[in-house]
A and B are shown apart, each in its own frame.
Chain A
């Protein structure tokens, strides 16, 4: 064994001092190595985005240059071209029209159901929970054909409701589990004490449960926003023309824009910026939610 075991060196202070120095040297070289690896992988993760952002300001002729070189002239026309010519204004509008009701309604409905599952015992609760668990696992591919028909039957085809309602329904499954876990972790002693002190149900909700639930609600909102904003398959099938949201609009760019990388880069920036801004502020909520969500979905 070549390594020095602390405490096993008994032949004098010098050996001990040198072994301590060796250990600290080893530790700092290890720290350095860790940082080098982390920086390399961080760059690999981020540089493609840097390249696409720079590309959005270039002309197609500059594409053959180093992707990390700065544009000779910063061409903002790519953005106006994407916004107007490639109809990204319409796609952006659709995205906003869809994401706002999905996030708000899903949040309300799953807070209610999570509350019911987390705080009450009632006949059939476990079966209902299992049924909702199913919604966490099925892909949209498995429901899309009947959904298409259903929207026709309900007269909702070619309306935004055809894009909104299915996403609320699937978000409800995740949200229910998320909020149920939140309410299950509430301090029951505190609630009991408040009730004994004459606090009403409404008071318990508003003064104790709501403030304690804020972190879970925040995570839920940012995750639902990201998932809805980035949803592809459902929109691809259900939406046409200007009703398409940004991901589908970008993926289906046709005609003279389909080969215009700078315009597509500008469109990409329009698509990812809102999520990235939210992520920059709430990265902890994103990461926590996506990782914890794994165990349920």
Chain B
């Protein structure tokens, strides 16, 4: 080991090609985006330095507030409902080894590996006025509507698709987690007179802590970053009812030619994502340390 892998020179040499590409196409652009966020710039003209003006505008811009609000609204559908569904399954689940687990796991996870564009195309069709969902609802006496074009219902319809994408992930995670909880913990809880809720609260929930953190990170960041699914389903509409932050970056930069302002929104979005990831990451490593 010593002789083979202690020469820093070799390490730098191994890192060099990847780092060059990474620096050129990720790091440098990050720095430039931050720089542009301090400029008034169409994307073509000469940029004019305006200090923090973009940020001052951003915190008062109703579109930005609407977009962030929509992202947070989608967190309910991307994160909270899927985790609750997953926990519901975990709470009623049989503790013994289940047969056919591979099939359930593989199937439930399929929406995760699908292109969001395909998911969007499918649900856009399912939600159309004379589409399958309305046909189904009519059978139980509910008026058909263009769900994705409806001012009130569009956010819920887009959110429902988000739930559909994410619940399988949570279930797969929690299925695996529950099977790793020691059966004796449940026996002990029963001996001490714990009812079903108490068993869930004091055995299942703590036993799934790791999995809940993972599910939270994955789905929360997905809700903050969502772009392609909304682009295909509603393109942010009707009005601004399903406008999300990443879509606002796109619109300001490429449709309204306000690249400087778009950069400021992008920086804000990136900071939110980095802060959330870093916070959970730190929490996670503290837990890991505790477990050792």
Give every chain A residue within 8 A of B28 (Cβ-Cβ).
Answer: 146, 150
In the assembled complex, the CB of A252 is this many whole angstroms from the nearest CB of chain B, namely: 10
> Would you list which residues of chain A between 49 and 78 have a CB under 8 Å from chain B?
49, 51-52, 55, 63-64, 66-67
CB-based contact B107/A134 at 8 Å: no
Q: Dominant SS at the B interface?
A: helix
CB-based contact B21/A49 at 8 Å: no
**Interchain pairs with CB closer than 8 A, number:** 292
Among A34, A165, A272, the residue within 8 A (CB) of B25 is: A165
Q: State whether the Cβ of B148 lies closer than 8 Å to any Cβ in chain A.
A: no
CB-based contact A67/B132 at 8 Å: yes
In the assembled complex, the CB of B69 is this many whole angstroms from the nearest CB of chain A, namely: 18
Q: How large is the interface on B (under 10, 10 to 19, 20 to 34, 35 or more residues)?
A: 35 or more
CB-based contact A51/B122 at 8 Å: yes
Q: Dominant SS at the A interface?
A: helix
In the assembled complex, the CB of B278 is this many whole angstroms from the nearest CB of chain A, namely: 8
Among A51, A120, A150, A226, the residue within 8 A (CB) of B5 is: A120
CB-based contact A146/B171 at 8 Å: no
CB-based contact B125/A286 at 8 Å: no
User: Among the listed stretches A11-19, A82-90, A121-129, which one makes contact with chain B, having 4 or more residues with CB under 8 Å of it?
Assistant: A121-129
CB-based contact B106/A283 at 8 Å: yes
In the bound complex, CA of A1 to CA of B199 (Å) = 14
Q: State whether the Cβ of B112 lies closer than 8 Å to any Cβ in chain A.
A: yes
CB-based contact A31/B98 at 8 Å: yes
**Given A166-B25, A230-B115, A295-B284, does the pair A46, B110 have CB atoms closer than 8 Å?**
yes
CB-based contact A143/B120 at 8 Å: no
CB-based contact B15/A138 at 8 Å: no
Give every chain B residue within 8 A of A286 (Cβ-Cβ).
Answer: 109, 113
In the bound complex, CA of A184 to CA of B110 (Å) = 31
Among B10, B26, B43, B173, the residue within 8 A (CB) of A120 is: B10
Q: State whether the Cβ of A100 lies closer than 8 Å to any Cβ in chain B.
A: no
> Would you list which residues of chain A between 77 and 133 have a CB under 8 Å from chain B?
109-110, 112-113, 115-117, 119-123, 125, 128, 131-132
| Complex: chain A residue closest to B101, CB-CB | A38
In the bound complex, CA of A144 to CA of B267 (Å) = 12
CB-based contact A135/B26 at 8 Å: yes
Among B115, B173, B190, B227, the residue within 8 A (CB) of A3 is: B190
CB-based contact A48/B123 at 8 Å: yes
User: Among the listed stretches B57-65, B70-78, B200-208, B258-266, which one makes contact with chain A, having 4 or more residues with CB under 8 Å of it?
Assistant: B258-266
Among A30, A45, A192, A248, the residue within 8 A (CB) of B107 is: A45
Q: State whether the Cβ of B142 lies closer than 8 Å to any Cβ in chain A.
A: no
B81-123: CB near A (< 8 Å → 1, else 0) gives 0000100010011101010001111111111111111101111
CB-based contact B17/A145 at 8 Å: no
Give every chain A residue within 8 A of B102 (Cβ-Cβ).
Answer: 283
* Chain B positions near chain A (C-beta within 8 angstroms): 1-8, 10-12, 14-15, 17-19, 21-22, 24-30, 32-33, 36, 43, 85, 89, 92-94, 96, 98, 102-118, 120-123, 125-126, 130-132, 135, 164, 167-169, 171-173, 187, 190-191, 193, 195, 214, 217-218, 221, 225, 227-228, 231-232, 246, 249-250, 253-254, 259, 262-263, 266-267, 269-270, 273-274, 277-278, 281, 284
Inter-chain pairs besides A112-B14, A150-B24, 11 sampled, C-beta below 8 Å = A42-B107, A44-B164, A128-B15, A137-B277, A144-B253, A150-B28, A195-B2, A272-B118, A275-B113, A291-B218, A294-B217
CB-based contact A251/B117 at 8 Å: yes
CB-based contact A139/B89 at 8 Å: no
In the assembled complex, the CB of B244 is this many whole angstroms from the nearest CB of chain A, namely: 11
| Interchain Cβ contacts under 8 Å between A and B, 20 examples | A5-B190, A34-B94, A38-B108, A48-B126, A48-B164, A109-B17, A120-B10, A139-B225, A139-B269, A142-B33, A143-B25, A144-B29, A146-B36, A168-B21, A172-B18, A195-B3, A251-B120, A275-B113, A291-B218, A294-B214
